[in-house]
Structure 1
Amino acid sequence: MAETPVPWWRLFAMANDDPRKAVGMTVLVAFVAALGVSTAATVLKPYQQVHVERERQARLDAMLNTLPGLRGLMVEAGIDTLETRIVDLQSGQYDPAIDPASFDPDEAAKGPATSRDLPPGADPAGLKRIATHAPVYLLERDGRLHLVVLPVSGMGYQSLIRAYLALEPDLNTVAALTIVEQAETPGIGARIAEPDWQALWPGHRITDDDGRIMIRVTQGAAGPYEVDGISGATRTGNGITAMLTFWLGDQGFGPFLDRLRERGF
């Protein structure tokens, strides 16, 4: 006959050399620790999300400050931040039914009704699954579009890279690229977050005359489509190339950019 389990409250009265007490106390401590970690994670998650969003907004503001004359234009127009709209990636249309203030693309990417799987051949950025909608940030004045900022992401060498890609009004010239999140190799791939490397991006072209996406990171860059890569960080550079190829293409913001070119703001 199997022994009756010892109630947890009787463990404290047992002798310290009793193996049942050792096993029981180990299980009890593990349970309490797991409960504490789970509770802390649940309680702190909203604060962590707020911190991450503030950091991203700070990076976006810093990027805007690097664009010549942009802040002056915003002040003149009485604008202190870019307008946020939600885009249906498949149709390229704005979706007014979704509140930009409450939309979380990371959470949306987890829901079966608000996301979609990416087949391997259509997923150069290695994301596997994305939300069906995404935010875009716009600067418009007097019916004219002055800047479009697209949030882009993709797998680098050893981490997910998130960035903001700012496009000039022609929608084919890079105004800025700002890395907002990465965990690449310190001193090598992580240098993509340095201002000197990000300063290489403005003025580069995205597509050729036939509409093919040509922008890429490569060693010994030459021409309007190539940005010089970081020595020793080839895979990180390849990841950024793949990230931009995806988000500027048909699976990403391609339909939205096509709509802007055809119909305007």
Structure 2
Amino acid sequence: MAKKNESLGKTVGVVLALCLVCSIIVSGAAIGLKPLQEKNAALAMQENILDAAGILEPGMDIPAVYDKRIKPLVVSLEDYEVLKDVNPANFSNRKAAGDPETSVQLKRSEDIAGLGTMETRTEAYLVMDEQGNRNGVVLHIRGQGLWGTMYGLIALKSDYDTVRGVLFYEHSETPGLGGEITNPAWVKTWEGKELFGENGKVKFDVVKGGASSEHEVDALSGATLTSNGVDALIDFWMSDKAYGPLLEKLRKGELTNG
């Protein structure tokens, strides 16, 4: 019996030692790969921004084109000034929205996009033409879909009203239904649409039964809740509660490049 217990003890000891070694290896690999993962994530976002802005082309040097054509700024959503002490390369809208120091709790009556909390600062990407002049902006958008949050980007032309492009890069919507928010054919229908009416208020709509004006795009077939979510997130982010005053400052040329 003593020998059996001794043998069992050795086996347990070996197993525990192996578990410890494996844990150390896995932890070390995770730490070691983190810089590469962050670099790849940053590159993917640069690609998304260029794509939304209509600049992306097959085989292009994404970092080089991004550095030439995109000017990232971190802007306060409280006074709509550029936060010159915040490095855009180290900033994350998603982290800001989850940090009590850089976010606010939305009232249920105003939270039409189902956000819960809203960041008090955002990263805005000024689009530059080949001569280095401002030619529009790309902004983060997000809102509740059928199964979870839809994360995207919207690019506006130099009037800060007309849509240059839209891109949803992360979502959990149903493939073939709500998941069609990434369908290039549907995305293309946004190009040239106008977000605001003559009174400066958001007029854009995602409509059933066929878009018939410059302020409308077709809803997704069989995906009413996803379509409603897209409509609501545009209404929220383009309102005076979010990007409305920022876009007005851009129209007037009052936002400095930092």
Tell me the TM-score range normalised by the shorter chain. Answer: 0.7 to 0.9
User: Structure 2 vs 1, CA of residues 188 and 78 (structure 1 numbering), >3 Å: closer, same or farther?
Assistant: closer
Matched residue type, 1:13: L
Q: For 2:98, what is the secondary structure of its paired residue?
A: coil
What CA RMSD, in Å, does the superposition of the two structures yield over aligned residues? 3.5
Aligned residues: 240
**What is residue 189 of structure 1 aligned with on the other side?**
178
Q: Tell me the CA shift for residue 223 of structure 1.
A: 1.0
8 Å Cα contact 2:72/2:123 also seen in 1 = yes
Matched residue type, 2:240: D
**What is residue 217 of structure 2 aligned with on the other side?**
227
**What is residue 18 of structure 1 aligned with on the other side?**
none
Q: Distance in 1 between matches of 2:100 and 2:162?
A: 35
8 Å Cα contact 2:153/2:167 also seen in 1 = yes
Q: For 1:101, what is the secondary structure of its paired residue?
A: helix
Q: Distance in 1 between matches of 2:140 and 2:244?
A: 13
8 Å Cα contact 2:152/2:167 also seen in 1 = yes
State the identity %: 31
Tell me the TM-score normalised to structure 2 length: 0.78
8 Å Cα contact 1:116/1:129 also seen in 2 = yes
Q: For 1:148, what is the secondary structure of its paired residue?
A: strand
**What is residue 250 of structure 1 aligned with on the other side?**
240
Matched residue type, 1:184: E
**What is residue 86 of structure 2 aligned with on the other side?**
98
Query: 5+ residue gaps in structure 1?
Result: 1-9, 15-20, 22-27
Q: Tell me the CA shift for residue 146 of structure 1.
A: 1.0
Q: Tell me the CA shift for residue 12 of structure 1.
A: 6.8
8 Å Cα contact 2:52/2:138 also seen in 1 = no
Q: For 1:161, what is the secondary structure of its paired residue?
A: strand
Q: Distance in 2 between matches of 1:185 and 1:219?
A: 19
* Structure with bigger gyration radius: 1
Q: Distance in 1 between matches of 2:72 and 2:173?
A: 29
Residue-by-residue CA offset, 1:113-166 (whole Å, 9 max, x unaligned): 122111111211111112211000112467853111111111111121111111
Q: Tell me the CA shift for residue 78 of structure 1.
A: 11
Query: 5+ residue gaps in structure 2?
Result: none
8 Å Cα contact 1:93/1:259 also seen in 2 = no
Tell me the TM-score normalised to structure 1 length: 0.77
